[in-house]
């Protein structure tokens, strides 16, 4: 097949060159008007650009795509110093854009104790024991990402599990969703958490039902008791964590991330950028409660460069399903004494509305975590009220997770132009046990990808790393198959909510780019767009969807340079 060349796109660097009347970058003398720095040939290019959906080859100059077309045509743009990458028929996509990560936490977790796949309480305790043995006395153990739903009895851990192994090592290891963590006795003592300590607004101290003593598990806002006494990492430690995170992102084809907990860490990312070590673009999001600090600087939504930007604010409406702190209209099936709890940012009454109103009026982007159906309804209603009060503009309100929805609320996302920023891997993870929490009927509109798309909503995909693996291929597999990790749903959990590979890839590229006001810069492969590309080992559009999880990244190109190759 032969592909027509796109019209010449001249970069600012090329403004000194004469303009050619031809729509091709090849002159009549068969000499290129420009010489590419890098070309990819013999590829299956899925551009996601409706003007030219497919191609065989791509030419890159500096950090931009300058042409796409056939291998023969693009070869003509090569010079003596051009790097030529022969894709050998492999699939090329726009670089993946993870719309929801906790990037610094991910970097630290790469060098912390790994508890995610511990299958018993004993294995959980032994891993902490072994990790503690390698540390100097007094050094904290954090991270972990444990999941008690993997354990035979699915009971929450208690401090007694690990106290004997960590008498002089403070431990505060979080569940994978980040909405609860286990402290050992030493950490509780340092934090001053006792039987007399009251639950904070938006948090729960889990207690022994007989004695009233804290078990060590702290949910949501209650975690702050420990974090207040946790020694903050040094700048150099943060720099090392960020370096580990960006290298890992490159290895799985992630060329952009939207860091939901960046805050002041933007300075760390800037240092990494200045050193030439940043291998992905970052949209650094600040906490919503401090919106006025960002507003006073005069910064507005998506301020900064193509590599590092800010202007978004992240808030919390509730907790998580796994911690039974996601806020629902009806009680939990397996915990009928609770329907979840509002997040601490929902207190006092009206506080969230005031923050959203002020941040939106200042021109900043508002991004709010909502898991339970009541939390989603509440935030949608706040967005509706603020949109009516403030001037009409391109505000791009977002709900992070949009996890459990009532059917009547799904259409509100499209009607109100609220972006559903979702994490497909959660569906195949939580799907193992979600119905014991909320039952089958409520689960029908859990991770409702199909229903949201059919309603006309915009989806932006990510992982919530480290809650889920950063690898986008696994998330695409999850969205397309919905096959739970325990193997008990081979045809998919709530299969009517499956979407196609094309729809999943779009949500992970152009959808995520739109969610950060960058759809004109990235998300598709087209002349003039940033040269962020990924080459995959197999064509995920052609293979059996069940095989997608086995696909790997062959090469990642970000900003026109190869940042990872297998």
Q: Which residues contact 535 (CB under 8 A, 6 or more apart)?
A: 40, 43, 85, 87, 90, 91, 92, 553, 554, 555, 556
Beta bridge partners of 485: none
- Does any domain span residue 376? yes
Provide, rounded to the nearest whole percent, the portion of the chain with pLDDT above 90.
93
Residue 196 and residue 309 in one domain: no
- Does any domain span residue 212? yes
Residue 296 and residue 376 in one domain: yes
Residue 5, pLDDT > 70, answer: no
- 295's enclosing H/E stretch is helix 291-296
Residue 82 and residue 185 in one domain: no
pLDDT band at 264 (very low <50, low <70, confident <90, very high): confident
CA distance 535 to 121: 40
Domain boundary among 89, 121, 155: 89
Residue 402 and residue 441 in one domain: yes
CA distance 411 to 457: 8
Residue 11, pLDDT > 80, answer: no
pLDDT band at 43 (very low <50, low <70, confident <90, very high): very high
Strand 308-316 to 281-287 pairing: parallel
Provide, rounded to the nearest whole percent, the portion of the chain with pLDDT above 70.
94
Beta bridge partners of 146: 175
pLDDT band at 15 (very low <50, low <70, confident <90, very high): very low
- Does any domain span residue 243? no
Residue 74 and residue 217 in one domain: no
Residue 114 and residue 23 in one domain: no
Q: What is the pLDDT of residue 30?
A: 57
Q: For 327-338, what is each residue's pLDDT tens digit?
A: 999 999 999 999
Residue 236, pLDDT > 50, answer: yes
CA distance 231 to 285: 23
Q: What is the pLDDT of residue 126?
A: 97
Q: What is the pLDDT of residue 284?
A: 98
What does the pLDDT average to over 49-71? Answer: 98
Q: What is the pLDDT of residue 33?
A: 75
- Does any domain span residue 235? no
- Does any domain span residue 463? yes
- Does any domain span residue 263? no
What's this model's pTM, rounded to 2 decimal places?
A: 0.89
Buried b (16+ CB within 10 A) or exposed e, 521-542: bbbbbbbebbbbbbbbebebee
Which carries the bigger pLDDT value, residue 103 or residue 8? 103
Residue 71 and residue 148 in one domain: no
CB contact at 8 A, 21 and 65: no
Domain boundary among 192, 227, 262: 227
Residue 483, pLDDT > 60, answer: yes
Residue 369 and residue 406 in one domain: yes
Range of the domain at 204: 109-227
As for how many domains the chain has, the answer is 3
What does the pLDDT average to over 436-450? Answer: 97
- Does any domain span residue 557? no
CA distance 432 to 436: 9
Residue 307 and residue 405 in one domain: yes
CA angle 464, 470, 475 (to 5 degrees): 85
- Does any domain span residue 419? yes
Residue 205 and residue 340 in one domain: no
Residue 428, pLDDT > 50, answer: yes
pLDDT band at 14 (very low <50, low <70, confident <90, very high): very low
Domain boundary among 54, 89, 124: 89
Short-list 54, 60, 64, 39, CA closest to 3: 54
CA distance 75 to 36: 9
What does the pLDDT average to over 248-276? Answer: 97
Beta bridge partners of 214: 207
Q: Which of the residue ranges 162-166, 233-237, 385-389 would you say has the lowest mean pLDDT?
A: 233-237
CB contact at 8 A, 522 and 534: no
Beta bridge partners of 562: 557
Q: Which residue has the tokens 């941040």?
A: 359
Name the token pair of 316.
């919390």
Residue 308 and residue 421 in one domain: yes
Q: For 358-369, what is each residue's pLDDT tens digit?
A: 999 999 999 999
Give the domain CATH number at 20.
2.30.40.10
Residue 342 and residue 436 in one domain: yes
Q: For 145-196, what is each residue's pLDDT tens digit?
A: 999 999 999 999 999 999 999 999 999 999 999 999 999 999 999 999 999 9
Residue 3, pLDDT > 50, answer: no
Q: What is the pLDDT of residue 29?
A: 46
Give the domain CATH number at 191.
3.10.310.70
Give the domain CATH number at 390.
3.20.20.140
**CA distances (Å), 426 to each of 346, 363, 445, in order?**
25, 32, 14
Q: Phi, psi (5° rounding) for residue 172?
A: -145, 85
Residue 22, pLDDT > 50, answer: no
CA distance 100 to 383: 20
Which carries the bigger pLDDT value, residue 1 or residue 522? 522
Residue 21, pLDDT > 50, answer: no
């Amino acid at each position: 097949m032969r592909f027509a060349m796109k019209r010449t796109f001249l970069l600012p660097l090329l403004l000194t060159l004469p303009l050619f009347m031809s729509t091709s970058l090849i002159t009549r003398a068969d000499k290129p008007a420009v010489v590419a720095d890098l070309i990819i040939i013999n590829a299956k290019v899925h551009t996601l650009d409706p003007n030219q959906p497919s191609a065989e080859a791509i030419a890159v100059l500096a950090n931009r795509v300058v042409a796409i077309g056939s291998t023969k045509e693009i070869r003509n743009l090569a010079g003596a110093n051009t790097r030529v990458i022969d894709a050998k028929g492999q699939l090329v996509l726009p670089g993946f854009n993870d719309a929801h990560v906790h990037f610094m936490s991910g970097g630290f977790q790469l060098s912390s104790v790994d508890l995610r796949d511990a299958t018993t309480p004993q294995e959980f305790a032994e891993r902490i024991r072994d990790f503690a043995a390698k540390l100097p006395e007094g050094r904290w153990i954090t991270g972990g990402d444990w999941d008690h739903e993997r354990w035979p009895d699915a009971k929450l851990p208690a401090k007694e599990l690990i106290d004997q192994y960590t008498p002089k090592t403070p431990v505060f290891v979080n569940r994978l969703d980040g909405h609860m963590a286990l402290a050992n006795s030493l950490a509780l003592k340092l934090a001053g958490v006792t039987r007399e300590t009251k639950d904070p607004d938006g948090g729960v101290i889990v207690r022994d039902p007989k004695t009233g003593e804290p078990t060590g598990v702290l949910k949501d806002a209650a975690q702050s008791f420990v974090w207040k006494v946790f020694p903050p990492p040094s700048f150099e430690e943060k720099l090392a964590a960020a370096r580990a995170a960006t290298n890992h992102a490159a290895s799985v084809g992630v060329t952009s991330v939207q860091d939901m907990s960046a805050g002041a860490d933007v300075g760390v990312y800037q240092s990494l950028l200045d050193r030439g070590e940043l291998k992905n673009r970052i949209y650094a999001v600040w906490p919503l409660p401090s919106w006025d600090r960002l507003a006073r600087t005069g910064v507005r939504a998506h301020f900064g460069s193509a590599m590092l930007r800010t202007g978004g604010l992240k808030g919390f409406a509730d907790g998580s399903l796994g911690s039974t702190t996601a806020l629902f209209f009806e009680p939990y099936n397996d915990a009928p004494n609770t329907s979840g709890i509002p997040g601490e940012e929902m207190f006092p009454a009206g506080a969230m509305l005031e923050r959203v109103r002020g941040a939106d009026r200042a021109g900043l982007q508002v991004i709010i975590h909502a898991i339970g159906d009541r939390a989603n309804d509440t935030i949608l209603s706040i967005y509706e009220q603020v949109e009516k009060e403030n001037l009409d503009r391109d505000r791009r309100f977002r709900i992070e997770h949009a996890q459990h929805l009532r059917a009547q609320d799904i259409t509100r996302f499209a009607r109100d132009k609220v972006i559903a920023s979702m994490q497909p891997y959660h569906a195949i993870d939580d799907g193992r046990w979600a119905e014991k929490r909320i039952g089958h009927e409520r689960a029908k509109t859990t991770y409702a990808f199909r229903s949201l798309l059919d309603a006309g909503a915009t989806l932006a995909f990510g992982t919530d790393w480290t809650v889920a693996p950063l690898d986008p291929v696994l998330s695409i597999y999850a969205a397309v198959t919905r096959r739970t990790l325990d193997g008990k749903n081979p045809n998919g959990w709530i299969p009517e909510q499956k979407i196609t590979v094309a729809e999943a890839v779009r949500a992970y590229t152009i959808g995520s780019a739109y969610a950060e006001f960058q759809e004109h810069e990235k998300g598709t492969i087209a002349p003039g767009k940033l040269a962020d590309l990924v080459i995959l080992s197999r064509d995920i559009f052609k293979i059996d969807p069940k095989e997608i999880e086995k696909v790997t990244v062959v090469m990642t190109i970000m900003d026109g340079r190869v940042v990872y190759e297998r």
